[in-house]
Chains A and B, each alone.
Chain A
Amino acid sequence: MIRTPLRPLARILEARERGENPDAIERENLRIRHEQMRDKARGRAEGRLLVLGVMFFCAFSVIGVRMGVLANSEPSEPRAQVAGASIVAQRADIVDRHGRILATNMETHSLYAHPQQMIDREKAIKELMVIFPELNEERLRKDFNGPRKFLWVRKKLSPEQKQAVHDIGEPGLLFGPREMRLYPNGHLAAHVLGGTSFGREGVHSAEVVGTAGIERYFDEKLRDPAREGAPLELSIDLTIQAAMERVLDGGMRLMNAKGAAAVLMDVHTGEVIAIASLPDFDPNDRPANPVNGKPGDSPLFNRAVQGVYELGSTFKIFAAAQAMDLGLVTPQTVIDTSPPMKVANFRIGEFNGKNYGDQTVEGIIVHSSNRGTAKMALAIGARRQQDFLNSMGFFKPTGLEIVEAAGGKPLLPPKWTDLSTVTVSYGHGISASPLHLAAAYAAIANGGRVVPPTLLKQSGPHMGERVMSEATAKSAVQMLRKVVTEGTASFGEVEGYSVGGKTGSADKPKENGGGYYKDKLIATFASIFPTNDPKYVLILTLDEPSDNSGDKPRRTAGWTAVPVAAELIGRVAPLLGLRPEVEPGQQAGIQLTRN
């Protein structure tokens, strides 16, 4: 910038020559300079004001536009992340102990109708009747022509049926998505799984709620979204369950029984590996609850858990074990079992009026002597017997994880007299479910500790309180082994697996009181295998069996339940991973030891 001097020398000299005041020139120049400075400052200030104005205008415009946009748009959450993996199914799968599916879900469709939107109702009804012959035509016609604006036609459709309905081309027939429960194995483990039905229903979805079995028991857990669809692992083994049902079905037919039940249980963990009750049903198409007839004859009835029966002589081992545990007897104590024996004016007899004479405790169990057991029970006394049976779980439902288990409450004598003590000792006058018996035999098999039966997979042994000493339990197992080798259960021998067990044949009490049937009985075989290192108990019960292969029908457990159980053990033991072994001889004097 060229700086103009305030006192230019040329003009000063000139002014001096003319006699003027040179200061005037300086003032003049100063004024001009000040004016220039003022103009410049104003220009800059105006420019700044303009910029500021524009800025304010822009800022207010942005705010105004934004306000307008906000006022005119739908509110929405700002999105900074996406939710994690969504829940796939509304109900978790149920799998067996190896992860094989027992129950899962399927996407399907339901069919509903809006009659007011229908064009040709008669045609629609006719076509629907072709696709679903089970529908009621009259009812459909009434509904379609009635005042209702919405009605369900079918709850579940297969894809083929859906296509067929679609092909009718009727705009008043509509589909809604449905999740349905599928049991791919059909009848298998039907009583454990129970079944499901739809709860609250809407057009777009429907609740699937458990109606029976484990589906009902764990209904909330299965539907809990917090589990994120983690499957419910059961202790059931699919293969073994299938084998059991197959063998049991065959046995039931062969023995002309009207029903059968079996329980296979791990004696250390209490896991129920397989549990079956025949006749059974298909949980995919669960039949309605029976309205007439005996509820116990319905296929829905779970004989293994709900059915309480007098299980007969299988109870004798409890009296023997308790007497040994209390130190009243040893396996070799001799007891006189000869008649007559009367308790409260009631004659205690033996099967077929036999007389076993003097017998050791072992012999009493082997020959299944009522009188011998009765004498031991009397020595034990009513109170101690009740305590023992109570600790074994015979006084309350088993607590298995299916809703029906609560219904399996044992029937006990109303007044525990001496006669009750005697009859209970050989399994009469007390009714319990086969599962109760399995749990009690498991306590003997595992060395004397109560183990509650469970349907859930366990990670390790699950032992309760001790009910008898280990030595007693061991002697009891040896006695049970002898029942098979030399006693009433001789058909129970399975090559390679030393089976021990006790038979029980109890006459069925008449429904309307007044004694027992002569030709209807419940045959039970309670077994433990392998006896040298017990791992599993198997209880097998046949309802009214009759082996008609001989001259006259044979109904006792030794002829009916035992062969079926032996076949079953021979079938499932290899599947359980048990190696068949040659049993160490009794005379060898060598005991198997384990670390």
Chain B
Amino acid sequence: MRSLLYVTTFLGMIGLAFWAYHENYKTQAALGEVEQLQRDIGAARERLSVLRAEWAYQNRPDRLRDLADINFERLGLLPLRPEHFGLVDQVAYPQPPELPITDPVDVSSAGAQEP
């Protein structure tokens, strides 16, 4: 009985040591991966900031104004002015579609127009 206890304890110790060994290496690997990810994030952020700067530069008001001027014939964009505001009743809503006739009724004059 005692030897069984010793054996199981010993095996347990080996098992735990093996587990700890693996955990250690897994942690190291995870840390390495995190570090790589941080580097990637750093690079991505740098890229993002460049892209944001580029976006801001491309969308600078001067350029947009010039583009609107150049493409005026196509787009007809004008600076927003008070007279461009309208009331709701000035909006032309699309006509509601005619209701489909589901149960046509024969009338005596049907086809009267036809020769």
Contacts and interface: CB of A to CB of B under 8 A. Distances in A.
Contacts of A495: 82-83
A184 B49 contact: no
Interface string B42-81: 1001100110110111011110010000000000000111
A495 B65 CA distance: 24
A242 B65 CA distance: 10
Contact of A81 (B31, B60, B82): B31
A60 to B, nearest CB: 21
B6 interface: no
Given A79-B31, A106-B50, A497-B82, A88 B56 contact: no
Contacts of A588: none
A264 B109 CA distance: 74
A574 B81 contact: yes
B interface, over-half SS: helix
Contacts of A81: 31
Contacts of A89: 49
Contacts of A188: 60-62
Q: Which of B45, B50, B82 has the most chain A CB atoms inside 10 A of its CB?
A: B82
Interface residues of B, number: 29
Given A106-B50, A496-B82, A574-B85, A82 B60 contact: no
Nearest to B44: A88
B41 interface: yes
Contacts of B84: 574
B8 interface: no
A86 B39 CA distance: 9
Contacts of A106: 49-50, 53
Given A82-B34, A184-B53, A239-B61, A107 B82 contact: no
Contacts of A227: none
B81 A571 contact: yes
Interface in A74-120: 79-83, 85-86, 88-89, 100-101, 104-107
Interface string A161-191: 0000000000000000000001011111000
A580 interface: yes
B35 interface: yes
A509 interface: no
Contact of B85 (A85, A242, A496, A571): A496
A107 B53 contact: no
Given A82-B31, A82-B35, A88-B49, A574 B56 contact: no
Given A82-B35, A188-B60, A580 B49 contact: no
B85 A579 contact: yes
A67 interface: no
Interface residues of A, number: 37
Interface in A240-287: 242-243, 246
B28 to A, nearest CB: 8
A494 B82 contact: yes
A138 B82 CA distance: 60
A458 B46 CA distance: 30
Contact of A186 (B27, B31, B62, B81): B62
A187 B61 CA distance: 10
B9 interface: no
Contacts of A184: 53, 56-57, 60
A100 B82 contact: no
Nearest to B83: A495
B56 A107 contact: no
Interface string A219-237: 0000000000000000000
A81 B30 CA distance: 10
A238 B61 contact: yes
Given A79-B31, A573-B82, A574-B82, A185 B46 contact: no
Given A570-B81, A570-B82, A85 B41 contact: yes
A575 interface: yes
Given A81-B31, A101-B53, A495-B83, 9 more contacts: A89-B49, A104-B53, A105-B53, A182-B57, A188-B61, A243-B61, A495-B82, A570-B82, A571-B81
26 contacts: A82-B34, A82-B35, A82-B38, A86-B38, A89-B49, A101-B53, A101-B55, A101-B56, A105-B49, A105-B53, A106-B49, A106-B53, A182-B53, A182-B57, A186-B60, A242-B65, A494-B82, A495-B82, A496-B82, A496-B83, A497-B82, A570-B81, A574-B80, A574-B81, A574-B84, A580-B82
